[in-house]
Amino acid sequence: MAKKPSGLQGLQQHLSQTFSRKASARHDLKSKIPNPFSTGSRRESDKLTEILQSMDDDDENSSSNNEELNLEIGDKNLKKKKVKGKKNLHTKSQIFKYAYGQIEKEKAMQEKNKNITFSGLLSLAKRSGEEIRKRPKIEIAFKELTLTLKGTRKCIMRSVSGKIMPGRISAVMGPSGAGKTTFLSALTGKITGCTMSGMILVNGKNESIHSYKKIVGFVPQDDIVHGDLTVEENLRFSARCRYQMHPYFRLYVLILLSLLNPIIRRLSADLPKQDKVLIIERVIEALGLQGVRDSKVGTVQKRGISGGQKKRVNVGLEMVMEPSLLILDEPTSGLDSSSSSLLLRALRREALEGVNVSMVVHQPSYSLYKMFDDLILLAKGGITVYHGPVKKVEEYFAGLGITIPDYVNTPDYLIDVLEGITKPEGDITAQQLPVKWMLHNGYRVPPDMLHLCDESGTSSPSSVGESKNKSYNGEIQREVPTYSFFSTPDLSGRVTPGVFTQYKYYLERVLRQRTRDGRVQAADYIILLLAGACLGTMAKVTDDTFGATGYQYTVIAVSLLCMIGALRTFSLDKLQYKRESSSGMRSLSYFLSKDTMDHINTALKPLVYLCLFYFFNYPRSSFGSNYIVLVCLVYCVTGIAYTLAISLEFSQAQLWSVLLPVVLTLIANQSNKSAASLITPFVFPKWALEAFIIANAKEYNGVWLMTRCAALKHYDYDIHNSNRCLWLLVATGVGTRIIAFICLLTRQR
């Protein structure tokens, strides 16, 4: 495993070098280019063979090493060969050779045509016989989209109409606080705390965008990535979980779905492993992340890759799942101009495949601005000033009498006008620009803005009346239906891995994260060990108490320490979970994988604690019976900790994790007369204490039976209750896990 990354980097570099030296010889992409593996210098090819050999050695299926690869870069029949050769691509080296071959071929094409405009690339690709894979298309049309904050009733978006189209890159610009993020969040159904009215049509139909969540990529403004994983691991996990499920299960689902729903016919065929690798490698290449592919991303506490690189990983997480709609919130912030342009080129490739790309962008350079197809310009208050092709921006504003001065970047000038920093030439004011846009398109002008029409002097009352008639007859004023998790059908046409397959992927990821988090885990165990030693020494076992004091300390200490440890399971990656679940990853797999990994703690932590506690305290009951009670107790409190972690903020959850074991253990020891004793039978420390003491009491016989009976009576325990107590602890553990999972589904959406 350790060999692979360096091997990959080496292979990638060799291929790049070999290709760049041969770039001049590449006259025609259709023509067959000699295989770089056989034509490089002897030294290079030896080294390359070494790298590939080491990768093959790693692979279980190295039996196919001797098979000749049909890797002929630039061969127009590559697709045919790929299909024919799919069965042969078993080993890692074969898969990566195929992936890099494809990438180099694409790079060669880009190199050859670097002076051609982006839109020219599409037609050129078609002419050269290159097949550009198309994805399912998503067009979003929105009519009179209006958003009002629920509490204050403040309107943060007004009557925004238009559409974003597949195959185009739209830039959303405007002054700070204009509502750009709000607008894109509204389109992707991620807005919360607002009442939304208007209409959003997906591919012309009144359907929820959540039905397409598996093919909608949303890149948030903040970099929500896994800091303890490497760049490649982040991307690989994202790609794996969002692609097709296990072959056998997939076949079953395909048959079932095709009987039920004709949409299944639009499903893309399953992606073979080499194509998944190709997608990941293409994204790494396109985003310029080759140099850091094996570096940990890093967190606020522990630095990893740079901020700009993290930003690109953030984008890459969505690109690897091959979305049809890709929404990005300020992906170029913090990037230098060459990285921004690299990113835009990568997004252009997406657009060529039919992806609908929309992004919020701040202060783009002129060359970057020209890379966009469409511009959505919003004024403060979330109201449209312009929405259309970038090419026609100057023309439109010139029609209003606003001329962009020479040597001034168009978006900068327009945003200055909207901010009120620059006063436009002529009579027009910044406040009139939204009304001008409405009138220009014949949209309905809101009544409170009608006075701006009159002031402008260019629109007669009749034209206003005309535009009024073009309103949507009240139809659009209804509230956009809110997202219901259980009632939204999946129309994305993409079959993602099933619960079990995703569970396996998640398990692998959690295992990696836990092993990298070893110091924190080790600290937990050391604290438990010390607690066991201290409490074992402090508490003395006497025949009339059965060592009750020591067990009370044990229940408090073990519950408290294990609960706080278990809080980390779900508290620390809430944002990551939210992002992953909103793009169709399975919550059940996520939950079960984390719980499975915690079972190791459930088994080991009692053992660690008891090692020293039992040695110093030396109760009458056996080590095994004490261990069983502690395992049940840890299982129970872990479930409670999950519920707290998922439903509360981390700091609040911590407080509750301290409070509950202490208070409930005190309640468990209440005498029969107090008010608190009413709930004593229902608290988990009581069941654990009873189980511990019964285990001790069972060791007494003969004349000691009298002592045993008297002592148990004092505590109100029943010698026959032992199993019942253990079952209650386990049942509480299961019950609280179910509650935690329901909270996960409902609260974090």
Ligand X SMILES: Nc1ncnc2c1ncn2[C@@H]1O[C@H](COP(=O)(O)OP(=O)(O)OP(=O)(O)O)[C@@H](O)[C@H]1O
Based on the shown chain and the rule CB under 6 A, indicate whether residue 153 belongs to the binding site for ligand X: no
Based on the shown chain and the rule CB under 6 A, indicate whether residue 176 belongs to the binding site for ligand X: yes
Please check whether residue 310 is in contact with residue 318, taking contact to mean a CB–CB distance below 8 angstroms.
no
Q: Which is nearer to ligand X, 89 or 194 (CB)?
A: 194
Among 48-56, 170-178, 702-710, 734-742, the segment contacting ligand X (CB under 6 A): 170-178
Among 88, 181, 339, 669, binds ligand X (CB under 6 A): 181
- Measured from the CB of residue 186, what is the shortest distance to ligand X in angstroms? 9
- Measured from the CB of residue 416, what is the shortest distance to ligand X in angstroms? 15
Q: Which is nearer to ligand X, 317 or 361 (CB)?
A: 361
Burial status of residue 248 (CB atoms within 10 A of its CB: 0-12, 13-18, 19 or more): exposed
Residue 441 phi, psi (nearest 5): -100, 0
- Measured from the CB of residue 156, what is the shortest distance to ligand X in angstroms? 4
Q: Which is nearer to ligand X, 20 or 192 (CB)?
A: 192
Closest C-alpha to 136, from 493, 412, 626, 498: 493
Based on the shown chain and the rule CB under 6 A, indicate whether residue 177 belongs to the binding site for ligand X: yes
- Measured from the CB of residue 411, what is the shortest distance to ligand X in angstroms? 13
- Measured from the CB of residue 196, what is the shortest distance to ligand X in angstroms? 12
Q: Which is nearer to ligand X, 191 or 610 (CB)?
A: 191
Q: Which is nearer to ligand X, 179 or 550 (CB)?
A: 179
- The first and second tokens of residue 164, run together, are 């974003």
Alpha carbons 117 and 352: distance in angstroms, whole number: 12
Among 180-188, 204-212, 227-235, 458-466, the segment contacting ligand X (CB under 6 A): 180-188
Instruction: Please give the residues from 27 up to 86 whose contact with ligand X meets the rule CB under 6 A.
Output: none
- Measured from the CB of residue 101, what is the shortest distance to ligand X in angstroms? 41
- Measured from the CB of residue 182, what is the shortest distance to ligand X in angstroms? 3
Q: Which residue has the tokens 């998944």?
A: 276
Q: Which is nearer to ligand X, 165 or 196 (CB)?
A: 196
- Measured from the CB of residue 151, what is the shortest distance to ligand X in angstroms? 8
Q: Which residue has the tokens 């492993």?
A: 273
State which H helix or E strand residue 386 sits in.
Answer: strand 383-389
Among 133-141, 178-186, 349-357, 402-410, the segment contacting ligand X (CB under 6 A): 178-186
Based on the shown chain and the rule CB under 6 A, indicate whether residue 617 belongs to the binding site for ligand X: no
User: How many residues of this chain bind ligand X (CB under 6 A)?
Assistant: 11
Instruction: Please give the residues from 331 up to 350 whose contact with ligand X meets the rule CB under 6 A.
Output: none
Q: Which is nearer to ligand X, 434 or 584 (CB)?
A: 434
**Diameter of the chain by CA atoms?**
108
Alpha carbons 440 and 453: distance in angstroms, whole number: 12
- Measured from the CB of residue 590, what is the shortest distance to ligand X in angstroms? 26
Sheet holding 383-389, edge to edge: 216-219, 325-329, 356-360, 169-173, 374-379, 383-389
Closest C-alpha to 144, from 403, 432, 458, 472: 472
Closest C-alpha to 359, from 330, 337, 335: 330
Based on the shown chain and the rule CB under 6 A, indicate whether residue 180 belongs to the binding site for ligand X: yes
- Measured from the CB of residue 420, what is the shortest distance to ligand X in angstroms? 16
- The first and second tokens of residue 257, run together, are 């779905």
- The first and second tokens of residue 3, run together, are 């060999």
Among 177-185, 317-325, 398-406, 548-556, the segment contacting ligand X (CB under 6 A): 177-185
Q: Which is nearer to ligand X, 182 or 459 (CB)?
A: 182
Among 119-127, 176-184, 271-279, 488-496, the segment contacting ligand X (CB under 6 A): 176-184
Q: Which is nearer to ligand X, 149 or 719 (CB)?
A: 149
Alpha carbons 533 and 705: distance in angstroms, whole number: 30
Alpha carbons 343 and 318: distance in angstroms, whole number: 13
Neighbours of 61 (CB within 10 A): 12
Angle between helices 42-58 and 92-112 (to 10 degrees): 130
Based on the shown chain and the rule CB under 6 A, indicate whether residue 179 belongs to the binding site for ligand X: yes
Alpha carbons 527 and 560: distance in angstroms, whole number: 12
Q: Which is nearer to ligand X, 175 or 550 (CB)?
A: 175
Q: Which is nearer to ligand X, 334 or 735 (CB)?
A: 334
Burial status of residue 670 (CB atoms within 10 A of its CB: 0-12, 13-18, 19 or more): middle
**Alpha-helix residue ranges (DSSP H) falling in 307-374:** 307-319, 337-352, 366-369
Among 30-38, 79-87, 171-179, 228-236, the segment contacting ligand X (CB under 6 A): 171-179
Among 145, 178, 539, 633, binds ligand X (CB under 6 A): 178
Q: Which is nearer to ligand X, 174 or 304 (CB)?
A: 174
Residue 604 phi, psi (nearest 5): -85, -35
- Measured from the CB of residue 312, what is the shortest distance to ligand X in angstroms? 19
Q: Which is nearer to ligand X, 172 or 289 (CB)?
A: 172
Alpha carbons 531 and 537: distance in angstroms, whole number: 10
Q: Which is nearer to ligand X, 221 or 290 (CB)?
A: 221
Q: Which residue has the tokens 């006497």?
A: 542
Neighbours of 622 (CB within 10 A): 14
- The first and second tokens of residue 276, run together, are 């998944």
- Measured from the CB of residue 746, what is the shortest distance to ligand X in angstroms? 19
Over the window 111 to 150, marking each residue x when it contacts ligand X by CB under 6 A and - when it does not, the resulting string is --------------------------------------x-
Among 174-182, 265-273, 366-374, 493-501, the segment contacting ligand X (CB under 6 A): 174-182
- Measured from the CB of residue 379, what is the shortest distance to ligand X in angstroms? 10
- The first and second tokens of residue 568, run together, are 């980390």
What string of DSSP letters covers 256-280?
HHHHH-GGGGGPPPPPPHHHHHHHH
Q: What is the dihedral of CA 18, 20, 21, 24, to 10 degrees?
A: 130
- Measured from the CB of residue 418, what is the shortest distance to ligand X in angstroms? 11
Q: Which is nearer to ligand X, 340 or 459 (CB)?
A: 340
Closest C-alpha to 394, from 372, 420, 413, 380: 413
Alpha carbons 98 and 278: distance in angstroms, whole number: 8
- Measured from the CB of residue 591, what is the shortest distance to ligand X in angstroms? 27
Alpha carbons 578 and 746: distance in angstroms, whole number: 11
Among 79-87, 172-180, 288-296, 493-501, the segment contacting ligand X (CB under 6 A): 172-180
Instruction: Please give the residues from 217 up to 276 whose contact with ligand X meets the rule CB under 6 A.
Output: none
Q: Which is nearer to ligand X, 180 or 686 (CB)?
A: 180
Alpha carbons 416 and 192: distance in angstroms, whole number: 30
Please check whether residue 211 is in contact with residue 277, taking contact to mean a CB–CB distance below 8 angstroms.
no
- Measured from the CB of residue 152, what is the shortest distance to ligand X in angstroms? 8
Based on the shown chain and the rule CB under 6 A, indicate whether residue 509 belongs to the binding site for ligand X: no
Among 193, 465, 474, 518, binds ligand X (CB under 6 A): 193
Strand partners, 388: 375
Q: Which is nearer to ligand X, 294 or 419 (CB)?
A: 419
- Measured from the CB of residue 516, what is the shortest distance to ligand X in angstroms? 33
What string of DSSP letters covers 647-706?
HS-HHHHHHHHHHHHHHHHHHHT--TTSSGGGSGGGSHHHHHHHHHHHHHHTT--TTHHH
- Measured from the CB of residue 474, what is the shortest distance to ligand X in angstroms? 26
**Over the range 167-188, which residues count as b (16 or more CB within 10 Å of their CB) and which as e?**
bbbbbbbbbeebbbbbbbbbbb
Q: Which is nearer to ligand X, 219 or 321 (CB)?
A: 219
Give the residues lining the site for ligand X (CB under 6 A). Answer: 149, 156, 174, 176-182, 193
